[in-house]
Amino acid sequence: MTLENKTVAFLVGPEGIEQAELVEPWKAVSEAGGTPRLVSKDSGTVQAFNHLTPADEFPVDVTLDDASADQFDALVLPGGVANGDQVRTFPAAVSFVKAIADAGKPIAVICHGGWVLIEADLVRDRTLTSWPSLQTDYRNAGATWQDQETVVDEGAFTLVSSRKPDDLPAFNRELVRAFE
């Protein structure tokens, strides 16, 4: 599998990103020959966490003000409760995610990263998974929620979803396949 000549956006908030859910998919994209780019609201760095403990900081490559769907071939939405909750409150993030989906580009989401998909009204009539506490949110937004390691829903855009850090090997395999 190769992602040569593919640029993948990783959209995150300023803090609260679950570090493994950023680092491991980033590594999978890089190892497959793709170019991962960190997109966030502001320039500078973002703060990742290992659950509730602060972990590493990561430099932002592109701010939401400068990001557009035509710059990217795919999108990853890492989890983390605070991260997912923040991202959905940024109108520019919601617009960016909607533009990626409207362009038919694949999106991979894990854990709490999907709140922005709900905010953008992109889960209606789709099947996916997430951290279990989001299942009611997804169902209320018109999605079918399943408790599975990874769900791939082919539709107007491919949607790869996963529940938690333990699912990262399957998530990474499926996102690389979908982004190819």
pTM: 0.98
SS3 content of the chain, % helix, strand, coil (to 5): 40, 30, 35
What residues are labeled active site? Answer: 111-112
Residue range 62-104, pLDDT digits in tens: 999 999 999 999 999 999 999 999 999 999 999 999 999 999 9
Specify the 3-state DSSP secondary structure of 3.
coil
The mean of the pLDDT values for the chain is: 97
Choose which CATH entry (3.40.50.880, 3.90.1150.10, 3.40.50.10860, 3.40.50.9100) describes domain 7-179: 3.40.50.880
Q: CA dist 2 to 27, 35, 68, 163, 175, Å?
A: 13, 11, 23, 25, 12
Q: Quick one: tokens of 93? A: 């993030």
**Phi, psi (5° rounding) for residue 59?**
-75, 140
Per domain, the residue ranges of the chain are 7-179
Residue range 11-49, pLDDT digits in tens: 999 999 999 999 999 999 999 999 999 999 999 999 999
